[in-house]
Chains A and B, each alone.
Chain A
Amino acid sequence: MSTEINQRLTEIFKKVFEDENIKITPEMTAADVANWDSLSHVAMIEKVEKEFGIKFKLKEIISMKKVGDLISLIEKHRDI
């Protein structure tokens, strides 16, 4: 996992899920984070798109099951 993506993503997660101590891992899912609900999920995706200057397709967003999937998609979009 790229350290740079990890760091930037961690900052977003801290703000959106209101947890200063959050540590992201590729296996992490919404069930592992207290404030990760449908509303904060949409906000998180929006912030990730802005932060990395990318735009996910709807089907890509829906296919994300864990943080590792999100990181792979960020990497994929930055390669394009």
Chain B
Amino acid sequence: MNITIRHASETDIDFIIEAVMSAEACGTEIISYCRIFNISKTELSELLKSIIIEDIEGQELSLSTFKIALCDGERAGAISFWIEGVEGDSSMIKAQILSHFIGSERWNSAAEKIKIVSSTHIDRKKNSLQIESVYVKPEFRGNKIAQKIILHEMGHLQKNSPEICMAQVMTMNQNRPAIKMYESMGFVKSAETSSDNPAITDILPGSGRVMFEGEIKSIVQSENIYHEH
């Protein structure tokens, strides 16, 4: 199987939307954006399209933050990467973008749900590589595609921005496959939050979030050793 990794372009938009929605659901039926703003998957798809095409960097919903993996020419995986803090705080930027595109009326009527979700917020470390919307198409799973995209990005950073030392990736606390993968790569749990509000599991695919982090150098090194043996 020939795997290549490239920057996303506008032709990938439908695949990126699929990636964002699947990554949000973490293997469940719950897509937080739909639950928070009371919108259908079709409405969300249109909303994401407008946001991603607008390409505002510094947060995950931006065309230029996505890398696409192709398996024998077919789109197989996508991940969003950015450096936290360069454009400002990513959660603030994302909130501004969402409120702008969804409209203040819908945003304000979702305020209670946003507050519940915010209670599981974990701050991202400034000047660290952020990894979000990790997605591999089901038929391509088991080929370490997500790991390959992450290592590709880390290798690129080591070469071009060696001052970026740390990488962080956040997932939901119930997302066992993702947690297993990050741990196997050498990421270590650095923070965890959970909400005791029972409504949380109607909005998010878990009761809280887990942040993993790792040193780029040691993750790349250990993966190289792994491949040599």
Contact = CB atoms under 8 A, between A and B. Distances in A.
A, B: real partners: yes
B99 to A, nearest CB: 5
A39 B88 contact: no
A61 B97 CA distance: 9
Could you tell me the dominant secondary structure of chain B's interface residues?
A: helix
A45 interface: yes
Interface residues of A, number: 13
B92 A59 contact: no
B88 A42 contact: no
Contacts of B88: 62, 65
Contacts of B104: 46
A38 B56 contact: no
B107 A42 contact: yes
Contacts of A45: 96
Contacts of A59: 56
B115 interface: yes
A80 interface: no
Contact of B111 (A30, A37, A39, A62): A39
Interface in B100-116: 100, 104, 107, 111, 114-115
Interface in A14-60: 30, 37-39, 41-42, 45-46, 58-59
Nearest to B59: A62
A59 B58 CA distance: 12
Contacts of B115: 39
B95 A39 contact: yes
Given A37-B121, A58-B97, 8 more contacts: A30-B92, A38-B92, A41-B95, A42-B99, A58-B54, A58-B100, A61-B96, A65-B88
